[in-house]
Structure 1
């Protein structure tokens, strides 16, 4: 049972993390929007970078992008919380049932991985050249986040057996 509780606790930890991130982005919208604005504008990357044609300077697109990020972070949190509570509710069920009940948590962890790996590492880091910015580089943070999430996901999907 300790393995199941461990998996549930780790899913809850990711749910808590995603909740805090989404909450921070909502309650401190302007400060955190500045990050998205500068990444989209590409105004702090290397001055001689030839990829600046990729910048998005249209304010409503920047706002839409930021709102989409917040929505995906929030959905990650919700799916992880719901998934963890489903698992908690099924803590003492047969292994086969417990394994089938992991789907919502798996969806939440997968979405979280995609938000930080695709959204921040690939789109922000590579497409918008965020890695070139000394002030607005979220690549190291995104890396830590998605590696943590993928490790929890890998742990969670390990098959659980019947309890003894």
Structure 2
């Protein structure tokens, strides 16, 4: 069962790497995705006849605050997944119970990542701010891919591991 544990560890590390690159890109190229956040929050590219424009947020300070919150959540997702992958790697030859116990940080990181892209981008950005209506600033399809990938890894990760004799703890 070492190969399954190695697989789970590698998948968590892969999400950690991806979230790290997303956060790094947003930090080092702040202005590019700040423009995305500004357009979504100001709702300047939604359908012209929509009646939900009252939800728009025009404050540049709130645009920066929202973007900083997104970057912080992406960074925390990466950190939790890295810690989780490291703990799982250290525990991959231990008992099934010990290995199952090493997954906590990874579960937390994957859950936070799910919430960032499902709640932050799909629910709040996509539905509340009508991002889905925008030809240019629609991040819903990308967020959906991220959510599905993260949830697939999370489901695989939480499947209980067994000891070498096939027994669960």
TM-score class, shorter-chain normalisation, is over 0.9
* Whole-Å separation in 2 of the counterparts to 1:110 and 1:163: 29
Residue equivalent to 1:2:
3
Residue equivalent to 1:134:
135
Residue equivalent to 1:118:
119
SS of the residue 2:126 aligns to: helix
* Whole-Å separation in 2 of the counterparts to 1:97 and 1:14: 22
Residue equivalent to 1:159:
160
TM-score in terms of structure 1 length: 0.99
Q: How many residues align?
A: 164
- What runs of 5+ residues in structure 1 fail to find an aligned partner? none
Describe the superposition over 1:114-134 as per-residue Cα deviations: whole angstroms up to 9, x where unpaired: 000000000000000000000
Q: Spell out the pairing of 1:41-120 with structure 2 (5 A cutoff).
A: 41-120=42-121
SS of the residue 2:124 aligns to: helix
Residue equivalent to 1:146:
147
* Whole-Å separation in 1 of the counterparts to 2:73 and 2:130: 22
**1:34 CA displacement:** 0.2
Task: State the 4+ residue runs in structure 1 displaced beyond 4 angstroms.
Answer: none
Q: Is the 8 A contact 1:92 1:163 kept in 2?
A: no
**1:163 CA displacement:** 2.9
TM-score in terms of structure 2 length: 0.96
